[in-house]
């Protein structure tokens, strides 16, 4: 296991519709473009070398560029709110690192226990074309998403982004039903200009949902079994596909143990701990 428990937080947090469930890639279509409208430092041991995607855009997609004006929550290494900065300022590399900010990663499973993955759009500024967990993004520096009580703000941000990226109706993913497991701290460079440096809240949810992926955000989606994901990890090692760095780290650490215990996750709750992954 790669967890390294470096910090214990002083504010421990207590802890029938159509579905898409094909194990193969379901490509997004241009007709879904209507979904566009919605819308410091770490030890060198935490740095990751990520292969540059051949799909890295030479010029920024205008929709993604507009999203760079969103304002994220800056945090210190203990996840204490220390201010705010635009998404652009949070993701620009300076001396090889980015400003540390709050984020979340959603792992959504269907009733059969398959995990929904997405392949990031080629329009994405960081890690385009890579496969990752269901949804990864940031709570914004607005009152609704800054509420730290039981991670409510992060959960509300996750609900918002599931609709914006995957078209999942808000009522199908009530924020109260997200299970907050723990937090991870990692950083990774996407290319020579952009990267990530996040304290990432891990959120689980098991629901059958409707999907209308936003093609500006998502290139494809698929549901996978544990065996299928392990095969993807081998393909990632061989360079046939690329997993996002945070998803790879979570896969290599505790994901499969959590997955085996979807109906008994509370025993894994670690709200007072931030795991430093390298």
Gap between the Cα atoms of 162 and 198, Å rounded = 19
Catalytic status, residue 260: no
In sequence order, the 6+-apart residues with CB closer than 8 A to the CB of 16 are none
At CA 175, angle to CA 113 and CA 139, rounded to 5? 110
CA distance readout (Å), 46 to 158, 184, 249, 277, 278: 26, 12, 11, 7, 5
Active-site choice (28, 72, 136, 163): 136
Q: Are 18 and 110 in contact (CB under 8 A)?
A: no
Pairing of strands 101-109, 195-206: parallel
Alpha helix (H) ranges present in 194-244? Answer: 226-237
CA distance 203 to 151: 10
Is 216:33 a contact under the CB 8 Å cutoff? yes
Q: What is the DSSP letter of 154?
A: H
* Candidates 163, 196, 198, 217; catalytic one: 198
d(CA 80, CA 63): 31
Q: Where are the alpha helices (DSSP H) in the chain?
A: 62-67, 87-91, 143-146, 152-166, 226-237, 245-252, 255-259
Reply yes or no on whether 90 is catalytic: no
DSSP, collapsed to helix, strand or coil, labels residue 14 as: coil
Q: Which residues are catalytic?
A: 136, 198
């Amino acid at each position: 296991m790669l967890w390294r428990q470096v910090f214990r937080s002083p504010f421990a947090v207590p802890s029938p519709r159509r579905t898409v469930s094909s194990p193969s890639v379901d490509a997004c279509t241009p007709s879904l473009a209507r979904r566009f409208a919605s819308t410091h430092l770490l030890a060198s041991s935490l740095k990751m070398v990520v292969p540059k995607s051949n799909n890295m855009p030479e010029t920024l997609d205008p929709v993604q560029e507009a999203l760079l004006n969103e304002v994220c929550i800056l945090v210190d290494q203990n996840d204490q709110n220390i201010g705010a900065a635009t998404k652009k300022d949070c993701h620009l590399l300076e001396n090889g690192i980015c400003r540390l900010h709050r984020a979340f990663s959603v792992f959504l499973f269907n009733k059969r226990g398959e995990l929904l993955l997405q392949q990031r759009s080629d329009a994405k500024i960081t890690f385009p074309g890579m496969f990752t967990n269901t949804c990864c993004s940031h709570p914004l520096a607005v009152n609704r998403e800054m509420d730290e009580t039981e991670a409510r703000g992060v959960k509300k941000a996750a609900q918002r982004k599931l609709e914006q990226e995957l078209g999942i109706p808000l009522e199908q993913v009530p924020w109260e039903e997200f299970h907050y497991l723990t937090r991870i701290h990692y950083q990774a460079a996407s290319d020579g200009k952009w990267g990530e440096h996040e304290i990432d809240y891990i959120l689980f949810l098991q629901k059958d949902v409707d999907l209308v992926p936003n093609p500006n955000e998502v290139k494809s989606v698929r549901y996978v079994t544990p065996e299928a994901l392990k095969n993807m990890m081998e393909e990632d090692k061989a360079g046939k596909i690329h997993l996002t760095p945070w998803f790879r780290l979570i896969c290599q650490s505790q994901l499969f143990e959590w997955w085996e215990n979807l109906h008994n996750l509370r025993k894994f709750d670690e709200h007072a701990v931030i795991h430093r992954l390298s």
